[in-house]
Every structure is written in structure tokens, then in C-alpha cells.
Copies of this chain bind each other. A is one copy, B any other.
């Protein structure tokens, strides 16, 4: 059992880290960090717990630490806000910690992979070039997680030329206090700050190549339009995709259904049985029905049809705080462990 620390353990993503890492077969939560004013409190007193089950018993009374007090665990899960994550993750990784970060701050660094183990497990090698005693491995933005997994079997089998994305994103993506209820109940907001840029950059990096000179983003074009809707969990993503090869809808469906990745082969604890669940009923996927399937780690897709302007269209649903955040980081750590990247 490897001791781990959680940075930003009291936020929405931090709480997901706690729930996923509690009773984990590889990892044991040793330290929970939060902002200074919570330091010294027990986790149960510091957290504004938002999940519909109880805080795991063994975590309730863990004492909250602040980063100034130092960190013992070598393996660190980070749900830090962007404002502070860059520096803290940089220092800790240089000191020898293995950082699995949900923050965007290092995602675009030269040798930091944005890892989705089903998609680009080979990118993990980049950490060897980080010139740190430890390393930083990031996972993508929540929406990008769903997109990258959806695109992988398409890219592999038919090649990718163009990807157009229109998303309908849930409120949990903005964090515990991110969106006032007055702003979103009975409303749509047709914009999410920086989200479209993140999707456009990260998707290409994830689906690109890594060499010792850095990452070579895939060259397909991608454009995104992101919208906020009054839903608690799950980002629904309408995609229009142009492939390099000619392809029929039945080929697409077959490629999606046959897709398995490294986590499935390595039998990682948090890996879904299959990365993608294909629905052929017109009215699926749906948030209330499908977002929690297979521990919230599966990407559900449906409405696969030929498109007038692209090769085909598809609608994907991803659990934004599990597959798109904490679950993604934990799966990365599981992969790193199995592949012997956690030299502890």
C-alpha cells in the first residue's frame, strides 16, 4: 500500500479523490491538504461534503494539513486551484513527489503529459525528461476527457481530419461555489471561460505523439463551443467528425465497441470494463441514466449518424468530476504504479 496525499481535498474534485481513494487496493490516503484556515481541523469539520454517501470512516478524522507544514507522501493527487497549483506542483515534483494533477497549470509544459491511459499511455514516458526528482502527470480538462476517449478508436482505425464540438456542461464543472443558482436555474449560459481553448489545445496534444524532443500535437483541426446548462453532473458533447478514410456508421460503431485500452488490459482497479459504451437508442446517453455507469468511468455515446459536412456525428457523455477529473487522475496513478513509474 502506497501512502498518498490529496491537495485541495475539500473541493468538489478533492471530495471525489477522497471517495475514490478510500479503500483503494494500491493507495492509502495518508494526508489531506486544504487552505491554511482549515489547517488542524479534522476532515469532517473542514469539508463541506457534497456527495450522497458518508465521508469514509477512516478519513473523517484525518487532520487537515496546509502545504506549509510539509508533505510526507511521495504520491500526491492535486485538485488545487489554478492560481496556486503551478508553483506548488513544480516545487513538490522537484523534491521528488509524484504529482497526479487535475489542474491545468502544467498541462502545456514541454515534458508534462496530459495522460488518458486508454488513449496515450506511451506519453507517460515524458516524465523521464522532466528533470525532476519526481514528476508531474496531468489529466485533461473534464470535457476533453470525454472527447479524447471518443476520438481514440476513430483516430486509430480511420484517421482524423476535423472535429467540431458543441458541449452542454453541468454545474459541478465549475466547482462548489463556481456558479450562483440565480445565474443558472432555468437558464443556459452560452459560454464557459477558457473552456473552448483548453479543448482545442489539449485534445490534439493527447492524441499526438511524444518523442524525446517533446510532444507533437496531432494535426487534425478542432473547434469547440461550450455551454452551461442547469444539470448537476455530466457533460454532454455533440461531435461532428471527419475521418481520413471513408467509413460507414457500422464501422464506427464496431470500432467503438471493440475499443479497449491499456487500463483494461492491465486490469486497473478503476478502469471501466470498456472505455466506451455505445447506445443505439436515439434518446441516449442521458445524464440521469448514464453518467454514473461503471463507477462514472465509462464514456457513453449515442446518436451515431452520417453527417452532411463531416463523416459522421456522435453524442458523448462524460462524468465531469470522475472520468473528467478525480477518476482520471487516479487511473493515471494506477497505470503509473503498474508500469513501475512510482519508484518509492
Chain A interface residues toward B at CB < 8 A: 12, 49-54, 162, 164, 166, 168, 171-172, 175-191, 193, 221-223, 225, 227, 229-232, 234, 236, 238, 240, 282-293, 302-303, 307-309, 313, 315
Contact = CB atoms under 8 A, between A and B. Distances in A.
A171 B180 CA distance: 10
Given A178-B180, A181-B183, A182-B12, A315 B190 contact: yes
- One complex includes copies of this chain to the number of 4
Contacts of A289: 49-52, 187
Contact of A186 (B49, B282, B288, B292): B288
9 contacts: A164-B164, A164-B240, A186-B287, A191-B282, A221-B308, A223-B308, A225-B303, A225-B313, A229-B231
Contact of A188 (B176, B180, B225, B287): B287
B191 A232 contact: no
A49 B175 CA distance: 23
A178 to B, nearest CB: 7
A9 B230 CA distance: 27
B53 A293 contact: yes
A190 B236 contact: yes
Contacts of A175: 182
B286 A181 contact: no
Contacts of A179: 180-182
A182 B171 contact: yes
A282 to B, nearest CB: 5
A185 B171 contact: yes
B52 A288 contact: yes
Contacts of A171: 181-182, 185
Contacts of A191: 282-283, 303
Contacts of A12: 182
A230 to B, nearest CB: 6
Contacts of A190: 236, 238, 283-286, 302-303, 315
A328 B24 CA distance: 33
Contacts of A308: 162, 164, 221-223
A165 to B, nearest CB: 10
A308 B161 CA distance: 12
Nearest to A184: B181
A232 B182 contact: yes
A231 B187 CA distance: 6
Contacts of A178: 180, 182
Question: Which 3 residue pairs of A and B lie closest in terms of their CB atoms, listed nearest first?
Answer: A166-B166, A223-B308, A181-B181
Given A180-B176, A186-B185, A190-B284, A236 B227 contact: yes
A67 to B, nearest CB: 25
A142 to B, nearest CB: 15
Nearest to A235: B188
Nearest to A302: B190
A305 to B, nearest CB: 9
A50 B229 CA distance: 17
A226 to B, nearest CB: 10
